[in-house]
Amino acid sequence: MNEFKAVAVEIVREAGEFLRARLTSPHKIDYKGEINLVTEADKISEEMITTKIDHLFPEHDILAEEFTHTCKGSDFRWIIDPLDGTTNYAHSYPVFCVSVALQKLNNIILGIIYNPMLEEMFVAEKGQGAFLNGRKIVVSNTLTLAKSLLATGFPYDVRESSVNNLNHFNAMILKARGIRRAGSAALDLAYLAAGRFDGFWEIKLNPWDTAAGWLMVEEAGGVVTDRRGKDYHLESPVIVSSNGRIHEEMVNILNRASI
């Protein structure tokens, strides 16, 4: 694990610094949907990460957002979001991150989320806790939803699908102190782990959006479930995460709003 962690931190930092250096440069933008963007920086960052992982751990599987899906039958799989917050990045809005997780069989055992703009390296290891720049982090002590700051996001098909989180947002905003929509699910989960947010939920996310953050929150003492409060898995259509103290309130509101 020490080898995996050291290598991953180095690779993620390198990709993040590359992204930071190019933030205000002109971006070539392609579309995966009407509002789902991909920039050349996403692709270059992914290639930087996957090339090094494949070189160092050639027997491992890789699942990355843009174009790298390898299945070699390994017990280990790297789950990579080379640029979480692409729409922000395309507009030179400095809220984005690089997210990498390592899965062994059915368990996420390592999660790394790097915010290059603030030089914040979040690292979580299964059973060993969560850390920000080497210092242990824990979730907040907020006891009620009414005093909570939450985070969420909206799916890329928000214009086409009625399953778009707007009903959940409208219900939750009336109960929470505030809700932020920053545009990076991985950063939202890292900030929840660090106690900056008290809860986070979102729908229609992919494994690379949540893998590292899921472990981060749990290792910081938080709770991660699906919308009904059941065990979360990478294919769950909804992720609900919190400091644990407001979790039941969040789940109840989301379920009522879905009726």
- The pLDDT tens digits of the residues spanning 120-152 come to 999 999 999 999 999 999 999 999 999 999 999
d(CA 254, CA 249): 9
pLDDT band at 33 (very low <50, low <70, confident <90, very high): low
Mean pLDDT, the chain, rounded, equals 94
pLDDT at 191 over 80: yes
Residue 39 vs residues 88, 90, 226: alpha-carbon distances, Å: 11, 7, 31
In this prediction, residue 35 carries a pLDDT of 56
> What is the residue whose two structure tokens read 């789950």?
79
The two tokens of residue 99 are 């997210």
**pTM greater than the 0.85 cutoff:** yes
Predicted local distance difference test score (pLDDT) of residue 252:
97
Over pLDDT 90: what percentage of the chain?
84
Query: Does residue 46 have a pLDDT over 60?
Result: yes
More confident residue, 218 or 156: 218
Q: By the 8 A CB rule, do 259 and 228 touch? A: no
Tell me the pLDDT tens digit for each residue of 55-102. Answer: 999 999 999 987 778 888 899 999 999 999 999 999 999 999 999 999
Among 178, 179, 208, 214, smallest CA distance to 85 is for 208
Rounded CA-CA distance 151/183 in Å is 10
Residue bearing the bigger pLDDT, 68 or 119: 119
Task: Mention every residue, 6+ apart, whose C-beta is less than 8 A from residue 118.
Answer: none
pLDDT band at 34 (very low <50, low <70, confident <90, very high): low
Give the pLDDT of residue 15: 98
Domain map (residue ranges) of the chain: 2-137, 145-258
d(C-alpha 138, C-alpha 208), whole Å: 23
At residue 160, does pLDDT exceed 90?
no
pLDDT value at residue 259: 58
CATH of domain 145-258: 3.40.190.80
The two structure tokens encoding residue 28: 């070539």
In the structure encoding, which two tokens stand for residue 168, read together? 């959940």
- Structurally, what CATH architecture does the domain formed by 2-137 represent? 2-Layer Sandwich (3.30)
pLDDT digits (tens, 9 = 90+) for 221-233: 999 999 999 999 9
